[in-house]
Each structure stands twice: as C-alpha cells, then as structure tokens.
C-alpha cells in the first residue's frame, strides 16, 4: 500500500509543490489547510488526495488528520516577519501552539517521521556567510523565534518519543504560486517586480 503523507499548509505556495511531488512519487496525500493564505486551486485533482479544511491549533482536527499517516510535512504557519511583529501573540498561537498540537497528535497516532518547515530567519544576522546548520540560532523577530521554538519542540519529541524529526530551513524561496503582490513576499519576487 502507498505511504500516506499529511501536508499542513498544503494549499499554500510551498506546500502545494510538496503535495504534487509526493503524488508524483506514488504517495497518498492528505492536506490540512485553513485556507487563510492557501487556495484549493493550487491542489491537483487526484483520487490519492484528501483535503481537510481546518486549523492546526485544534487538537481534534490534528488528531483526525494524523490517523494512519506515515509522515507529516508541516508547512502551515503565519509566514510573515512583519505580521509577527504586529501581532506576536496570534503568530505564536499558530506557529508554536499549532506545531506543538500537531506534534502531540502525530506522536499519539504513531507517526514515524515529522518534517518541519523552518526558516533561515532563525539565524538572525548571521556572522558567517554562507551560513550552514552549525551556526548558532539568533532569532530577531517573533516569527523567527517561533520557528526556533518549533525546532526545539520537534527535537524534544525525537529525543523523548523517538519520532524522526527533520528540520528544513528555507532561504528566499521563489516559484509558481507565490503571491508577488504580497507585502510579505521574499526578496526575489520583489526584485522581479521592480524589474518589470
């Protein structure tokens, strides 16, 4: 039987690409997304795809989403440094509280692997360039602090419960389905927009 992957934030910019890649590799995919920044039109039509509209802060939704899952790909988040400064409490509730809620649900469901979408922002203004994973964390915004906290919680769950926890720290992601008009767009879309 095909492996089942849960992709949180799967209707979003990066998540929708993860969904398509998993489907191409023969996985069954379950998407959990609240559609605050994602769109169902980003998702392909497939009998191997199941969609749950819900919030990662809700324990029952996460429990249901994790049933029978082999691997969680956790991309759901408030993905805005500026927004995290303007509304730090809400950002923390989603990015830290939601991650912890999902980790508990994954552990309870017997999920073996959890892939966490972090950010290069956890390094702050890195003193060493190019920056690699050996550099110290120095988050300088509530968004970055939340991502670092998610990494710490994931590593705790790996140590205590044996979940294989993998962290991906993205730098300036760019590609199809990215909103070039967003006030929170990464640097590459801003360069493209300025050149047009």
pLDDT tens digit sequence for 46-91 = 999 999 999 999 999 999 999 999 999 999 999 888 889 999 999 9
Which homologous superfamily does the CATH classification assign to the domain defined by 4-195? NAD(P)-binding Rossmann-like Domain (3.40.50.720)
| Global pTM value | 0.91
The closest alpha carbon to 184, from 30, 77, 44, 80, belongs to 80
- Each domain of the chain, given as residue ranges in start order, spans 4-195
Q: Greater confidence, 153 or 81?
A: 153
Main-chain dihedrals φ then ψ at residue 52, nearest 5 degrees: -120, 120
Q: Which of 19-33, 114-128, 182-196 has the lowest mean pLDDT?
A: 182-196
123 has catalytic annotation: no
Average pLDDT rounded to a whole number, residues 160-169: 97
Paired strand residues for 114: 72, 165
Q: Report yes or no: 15 and 75 within 8 Å, Cβ to Cβ.
A: yes
pLDDT confidence tier of residue 111, bands split at 50, 70 and 90: very high
What sign does the CA torsion over 83, 85, 87, 89 have? positive
pLDDT confidence tier of residue 145, bands split at 50, 70 and 90: very high
pLDDT exceeds cutoff 60 at 185: no
Please state, in angstroms and rounded to a whole number, the distance separating the CA atoms of residues 18 and 110: 22
pLDDT > 90: what percent of the chain?
70
pLDDT exceeds cutoff 90 at 38: yes
pLDDT exceeds cutoff 80 at 189: no
Q: With 0-12 CB in 10 A as exposed, 13-18 as middle and 19+ as buried, what is 108?
A: middle
Average pLDDT rounded to a whole number, residues 82-106: 97
Q: Which of 123, 143, 177, 184 is flagged as catalytic? A: 143
> What pLDDT does residue 29 have?
99
């Amino acid at each position: 039987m095909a492996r089942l992957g849960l992709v949180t934030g799967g209707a979003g910019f990066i998540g929708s690409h993860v969904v398509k890649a998993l489907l191409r590799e023969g996985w069954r995919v379950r998407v959990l997304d609240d559609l605050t920044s994602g769109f169902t039109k980003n998702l392909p039509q497939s009998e191997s795809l199941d969609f749950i509209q819900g919030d990662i802060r809700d324990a029952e939704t996460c429990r249901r989403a994790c049933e029978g899952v082999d691997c969680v790909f956790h991309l759901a988040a408030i993905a805005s440094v500026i927004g995290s400064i303007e509304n730090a409490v809400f950002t923390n509730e989603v990015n830290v509280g939601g991650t912890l809620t999902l980790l508990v649900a994954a552990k309870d469901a017997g999920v073996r692997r959890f892939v966490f979408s972090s950010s290069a922002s956890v390094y702050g203004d890195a003193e060493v360039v190019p920056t690699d994973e050996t550099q110290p964390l120095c988050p300088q915004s509530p968004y970055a602090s939340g991502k670092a906290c998610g990494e710490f919680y994931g590593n705790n769950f790996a140590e205590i419960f044996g979940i294989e926890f993998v962290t991906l720290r993205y730098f300036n992601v760019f590609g199809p389905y990215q909103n070039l008009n967003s006030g929170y767009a990464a640097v590459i879309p801003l360069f493209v927009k300025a050149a047009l």
